[in-house]
Amino acid sequence: MVWLRSFLTFLVFFLPAFAQYNEPYRPQVHFSPREHWTNDPNGLVFYDGEYHLFFQFNPLGDQWGHMSWGHAISSDLLHWKELPVAIPENNGVMIFTGSVVVDRTNSSGFCKPGSDCLVAIYTGHQERLAGGGKRQAQYLAYSNDRGRTWTQYEKNPVIDLQMADFRDPSVFWDDKRNQWLMTVSLPTLHMVRFYSSHNLKTWNQISEFGPMGDIDGDWECPNLQRVPKEHGKGSIWALKVGLNPGAPQGGSGEQYFLGRFDGKQFSASTEVGAHGWTNYGKDDYCAINFNNLPTSSKPVLLGWMSNWEYAASLPTSPWRGQMSIPRRLSYLRDGAGLALKQEPVIEPLRAGEPSQLTPEPVEAPFELSMTFEAPQPSKFGVRMYSDHEHWTEIGFDREKKQFYIDRTKSSIPVAREFPARTVAPLVEGRPFDLRLVVDRSSLEAFAQEGTITMTNLQYPPSARLRLEFFGAKPRSASQWKLNSIWKQKSCRLGPTTEPYTQEK
């Protein structure tokens, strides 16, 4: 009878966990919470051997609301272990997007004597003030136990402009000037404001940037970072700004400006390619970089894989929302100008050696890599069929000078705004290479040496996809089956997970 009790224990406690990450459309190589709503990634930081992913999270349901910070950790940016809610909504203040930094010198006074600690800088959002209206201000919280528990600063907020729209602080330590730097958005003014501090509590305004580029919607989720040159020495500053709505592909999207930052003022370059979009698809928003990476590492960017046009209507349960694949950033300068380059962090999930493409259906998740000869016919690429009526087309259109993904026939019904053909400017002179990461409900494309990135959700009737080239066959093509991140012990929920109770 002992063995029977053990077997029943296994069925009760372990099989539901496996089944939980195997629901229809559950991403297998992208992070998604076990249940409930998620949107922006928050507080990305590497600390004590762990990558921390905090994220906008509703602990009480699968629609936006009661925004708090969810929390997950990883040792490789791919296999995530979800932890309890880190910073919950409290006393009518929702926990909006922000940063986490490592306070190595205890400049804040929050750390234990002789130790460093984690400090979160985030927007506190009050939905209903006593006198009416809304308020957004910048708040602090700190952790002395590797991010497991958090204490909110008793003198919050630390920056309060008495504004309804003032959000999404991105903070990092400036070694050269020995100060903390904050990039924060004034959404309706289409401006980014920069602040400096020596203790994370007292902030001084030093400059502003904008309006510039696209201003058809609110500016959100700014992110300033230094990006290394892909080949050779040197670096450039990249300022990324979210736009919602009004992005060229519809709904929410993110533009970038490449240029100079002198510790006070950001100046955008006038070179060709200095202004572009971090993602030309519909479904990558509020991407931010990881703080405190080793100095030899390229910056790593991670975004929310969805779009505010239809995020609340996605056909998933019991969760709604997921993250993009992490991408390593660099930049290149060639005859066509400047370009931001992104490389997906995916190789550790490859199941063995690459194989040649076959006409037989391939089950997601998988990765494809292909290179087409140039010149080619005016239009060429690959289609992915889930059945005779549903397919996605990924192609190069030299006549229109576009790289595109057409998902108008890819999915079961989702929302009126969902069917789309997303496009990016194609640059003659750069190679016609294409790398695809295909999951059960998404497609991420990296073309022309990673200078074009395009992320789109798709909900095909089947996860088994048949590949068919059109226009021309690639000179070389390989595919890899990708292992699921949920079948690893490291990403199951830990024993410390507790039910969430809303604070009154």
Q: Which of 198-207, 334-343, 352-361, 400-409 has the lowest mean pLDDT?
A: 352-361
Please report the pLDDT score of residue 19 as a whole number.
63
Closest CA to 158 of 112, 106, 99, 117: 99
How many residues in total does the chain contain? 504
- What's the mean pLDDT in 102-126? 98
Q: Is the peptide bond before 24 cis (omega within 30 degrees of 0)?
A: no
pLDDT band of residue 358 (cuts 50, 70, 90) is confident
Per-residue pLDDT reduced to its tens digit, 31-56? 999 999 999 999 999 999 999 999 99
Q: What residues are annotated to the active site?
A: 40
Q: Identify the helix (H) or strand (E) that includes residue 7.
A: helix 2-13
User: For the chain, what are the domain ranges?
Assistant: 33-339, 352-486
CATH architecture type of domain 352-486:
Sandwich (2.60)
- For all residues of the chain together, what is the average pLDDT? 92
**Measured between alpha carbons, how far is 399 from 292 in angstroms, rounded to an integer?**
44
**Measured between alpha carbons, how far is 198 from 319 in angstroms, rounded to an integer?**
40
Domain 33-339 adopts which CATH fold? Tachylectin-2; Chain A (2.115.10)
Neighbours of 346 (CB within 10 A): 21
Please report the pLDDT score of residue 231 as a whole number.
87
**Measured between alpha carbons, how far is 176 from 159 in angstroms, rounded to an integer?**
24
Q: Widest CA span of the chain, in angstroms? A: 76
Per-residue pLDDT reduced to its tens digit, 191-219? 999 999 999 999 999 999 999 999 999 99
3-state secondary structure of 325: coil
